[in-house]
């Protein structure tokens, strides 16, 4: 599955292959300053990409570029739009595959007062608000599901929190499901679940 990355079939019906060496070259030249050479960003302003599902990484690179007929991209970030718009489709697949092949360095939960609430939301949702459990899509250990749901385990809590806030506020528009769910979460609930997933292994 790592080699498919949502690609189109070639004439022989085989999945499109990726070039990890080319992906590494692009990553070292264009991505490493923010995301780290191995995909382990050194600060929470930028997400860790190491070990993420390649299909998900590829989709995000596509989503940063406005598609034909669209007024804006589904994900708005001037820096990422600048980088992603210079990459060919193959480049995007190669970079995604390279970072997916790296090992993520784990983070940890920091706020003991919120961990229990975060765990409750992650595992059981908030029935009174019609918020489903995060584990239902992202898995009990935050491993996600390839091509559908991203790996969350070990991500910076601050980054996860910022993305949930962006979904809620409409600045990030590439998942109707997450927009609907985040709209029902308070600031404290968002912070709690983000902190909890940072500590998942």
**Tens digit of pLDDT at every position of the chain (201 positions):** 233 344 333 444 556 799 999 999 999 999 999 999 999 999 999 999 999 999 999 999 999 999 999 889 999 999 999 999 999 999 999 999 999 999 999 999 999 889 999 999 999 999 999 999 999 999 999 999 998 999 999 999 999 999 999 999 999 999 999 999 999 999 999 999 999 999 999
| Domain co-membership, 160 together with 183 | yes
Q: Is 43 left (phi over 0), alpha (psi -120 to 50) or beta?
A: beta
Q: Are 71 and 123 in a shared domain? A: no
Single out the residue of 86, 101, 135, 75 nearest to residue 21, CA to CA.
101
**Boundary-marking domain end, from 47, 71, 100:** 100
The count of C-alpha atoms lying within 13 angstroms of the C-alpha of 64, restricted to the half-sphere facing its C-beta, is 18
Residue 96 shares a structural domain with residue 117 = no
CA 100, chain centre distance (Å): 11
On whether both 27 and 78 belong to a single domain, the answer is yes
Q: Which CATH number covers residue 190?
A: 1.10.760.10
Instruction: Specify whether 133 is located in the same domain as 173.
Output: yes
pTM of the model: 0.90
Structural domain span for residue 116: 112-198
Question: Within 10 A of 188 (CB to CB), how many other CB atoms are there?
Answer: 11
pLDDT for 159: 97
Q: How far is CA 191 from CA 12, 33, 94, 121, 127, in A?
A: 48, 27, 33, 11, 18
Predicted confidence at residue 14, as pLDDT, reads: 57
Residue 15 has what pLDDT? Answer: 64
Question: Are 93 and 120 members of one domain?
Answer: no
78 occurs within a structural domain: yes
Tokens of 183: 């709209």
Q: Assess contact for 157 and 110: CB atoms under 8 A.
A: yes
Strands (E), the chain: none
CA distances from 67 to 8, 60, 62, 163, 178 (A): 18, 13, 8, 21, 21
Question: For residue 1, what pLDDT is reported?
Answer: 28
Q: Same domain, yes or no, for 44 and 76?
A: yes
Number of domains forming the structure of the chain? 2
Q: Are 95 and 127 found together in one domain?
A: no
Look at residue 63 and tell me if it is in a domain. Answer: yes
Domain check: are 149 and 129 in the same one?
Answer: yes
- In the listed set 76, 100, 124, which residue is the last one of a domain according to the structure? 100
Whether residues 158 and 186 fall in one domain: yes
**Residue 14 belongs to a domain:** no
Tell whether 45 and 94 lie within a shared domain: yes
Same domain, 164 and 120: yes
Residue from 171, 134, 167 nearest 151 by CA: 134
Domain ends where: 71, 100, 129? 100
């Amino acid at each position: 599955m790592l080699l498919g990355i949502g690609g189109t079939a070639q004439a022989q019906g085989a999945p499109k292959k990726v070039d990890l060496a080319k992906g590494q070259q692009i990553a070292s030249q264009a991505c490493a300053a923010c995301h780290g050479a191995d995909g382990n960003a050194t600060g929470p302003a930028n997400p860790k990409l190491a070990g993420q599902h390649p299909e998900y990484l590829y989709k995000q690179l596509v989503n940063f570029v406005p598609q034909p007929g669209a007024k804006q991209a589904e994900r708005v970030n001037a820096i990422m739009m600048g980088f992603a718009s210079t990459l060919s489709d193959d480049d995007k697949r190669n970079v995604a595959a390279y970072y997916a092949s790296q090992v993520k360095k784990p983070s940890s939960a920091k706020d003991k007062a919120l961990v229990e609430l975060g765990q409750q939301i992650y595992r059981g949702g908030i029935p009174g608000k019609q918020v489903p459990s995060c584990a239902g899509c992202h898995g009990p250990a935050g491993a996600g599901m390839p091509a559908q749901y991203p790996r969350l385990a070990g991500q910076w809590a601050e980054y996860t929190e910022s993305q949930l806030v962006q979904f809620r506020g409409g600045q990030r528009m590439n998942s109707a499901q997450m927009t609907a769910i985040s709209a029902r979460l308070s600031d404290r609930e968002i912070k709690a679940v983000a902190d909890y997933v940072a500590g998942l292994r």
